[in-house]
């Protein structure tokens, strides 16, 4: 497999050529989908109009910049964030099923958000904090229940699936007990949707996701070293305990921040890292292809959600759930066959 070596003075970084090519391709697809997303609306705009609106203004500038652009940007950033979260947990559990939506972290984040809505006022800040706290709490519970095998292996995944089921039931109970208007808001949001997203809503989440992504840049080298197994990782100088803590924090942060704004959007975190890995034929579960694939998948799913029953816009979560269900069945089948 050929590699590209980038040099800056005495420092050198090696990148797989195929990963670089695949990543560039994914960026191009994301850009094309973004343009389509910006064109789409009650009245279709031409690509030329979109470009004019973005860079110099014009009559449709307001609609495109303030209404359509935040939605497209949210799909890209949230998709990338979910892809990253999935890659982190799949690396951590060394299992393709070890994704935050499967092992109950999304459900935990939703529980946290429900608490923020029903017991507190449900401001954006409370929602974000509640989601992250709920996700971390779910992660802690799963960790304690599967302590025998540490944070790796199928055991953690199975425990996570059970925790997911219990949390989902608990979430339904909370919604049933809530005031009718709160319950309606919570249920609509539970489907996972980007409908009506505006800049004010996404500014804080974008910044938070940026910070967690930065943390992942810092830990990614150690994360890939840890793929060699605990013993080699530790005897080559990886601080495994600290690394795992940071990975869980960043992974939960990435998935819970998205949940706080859009509700639980399943499937992206599960599928994007695996699709990215296979496209790049990479070693382990690399972060960059996972993030780019996640961005492409969520944006594409959101476009399908808007176009499928137009003029009714479906929640994007409905589309990802439908596709994700099929993928999950296939993946479970493969997992059973492997054993």
Residues that bind other proteins (CB under 8 A): 1, 10-14, 217-218, 220-222, 224-225, 227-229, 231-232, 234-239, 281-284
Q: What is the dihedral of CA 201, 118, 191, 100, to 10 degrees?
A: 90
* In the complex, minimum distance from the CB of residue 273 to other proteins, in angstroms, rounded to a whole number: 13
Cβ count near 201 (within 10 Å): 15
DSSP 36-90: HHHH-SSSPPPHHHHHHHHHT--TTHHIIIIIIHHHHHHHHHHHHHHHHHHHHHH
Nearer to other proteins, 6 or 169 (CB): 6
Phi and psi dihedrals of 100, rounded to 5?
-60, -30
Nearer to other proteins, 203 or 278 (CB): 278
* In the complex, minimum distance from the CB of residue 198 to other proteins, in angstroms, rounded to a whole number: 36
* In the complex, minimum distance from the CB of residue 305 to other proteins, in angstroms, rounded to a whole number: 34
Nearer to other proteins, 282 or 299 (CB): 282
* In the complex, minimum distance from the CB of residue 5 to other proteins, in angstroms, rounded to a whole number: 9
E strand or H helix that includes residue 14? strand 11-16
Three-state DSSP class for residue 122 = coil
* In the complex, minimum distance from the CB of residue 326 to other proteins, in angstroms, rounded to a whole number: 24
Nearer to other proteins, 9 or 311 (CB): 9
Rounded Cα–Cα distance for residues 98 and 111 (Å):
20
Nearest residue to 74 (alpha-carbon basis) of 329, 305, 274: 305
> Cα 11 to chain center, whole Å?
32
Nearer to other proteins, 72 or 279 (CB): 279
């Amino acid at each position: 497999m050929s590699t590209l070596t980038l040099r800056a003075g005495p420092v050198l970084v090696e990148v797989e050529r195929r990963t670089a090519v695949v990543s560039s391709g994914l960026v191009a697809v994301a850009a094309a989908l973004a343009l389509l997303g910006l064109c789409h609306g009650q009245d279709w705009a031409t690509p030329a109009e979109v470009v004019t609106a973005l860079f110099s203004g014009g009559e449709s500038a307001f609609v495109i910049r303030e209404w359509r652009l935040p939605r497209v940007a949210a799909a890209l950033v949230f998709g990338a964030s979910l892809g990253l979260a999935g890659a982190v947990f799949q690396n951590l559990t060394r299992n393709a099923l070890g994704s935050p939506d499967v092992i109950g972290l999304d459900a935990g984040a939703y529980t946290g958000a429900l608490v923020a809505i029903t017991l507190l006022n449900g401001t954006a800040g409370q929602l974000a904090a509640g989601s992250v706290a709920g996700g971390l709490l779910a992660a802690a519970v799963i960790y304690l229940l599967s302590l025998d095998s540490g944070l790796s292996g199928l055991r953690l995944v199975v425990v996570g699936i059970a925790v997911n089921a219990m949390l989902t039931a608990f979430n339904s109970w909370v919604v049933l007990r809530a005031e009718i208007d709160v319950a309606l808001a919570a249920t609509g949001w539970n489907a996972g949707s980007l409908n009506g997203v505006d800049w004010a809503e996404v500014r804080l989440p974008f910044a938070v996701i940026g910070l967690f992504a930065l943390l992942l840049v810092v830990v990614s080298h150690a994360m890939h070293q840890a793929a060699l197994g605990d013993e080699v990782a530790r005897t080559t100088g990886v601080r495994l305990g600290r690394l795992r803590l940071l990975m869980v924090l960043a992974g939960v942060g990435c998935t819970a921040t998205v949940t706080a704004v859009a509700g639980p959007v399943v499937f992206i975190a599960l599928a994007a890292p695996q699709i990215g890995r296979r496209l790049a034929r990479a070693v382990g579960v690399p972060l960059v292809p996972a993030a780019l694939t996640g961005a492409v998948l969520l944006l594409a799913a959101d476009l399908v959600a808007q176009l499928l029953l137009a003029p009714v816009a479906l929640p994007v979560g409905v589309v990802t759930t439908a596709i994700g269900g099929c993928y999950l069945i296939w993946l479970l089948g493969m997992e059973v066959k492997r054993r």
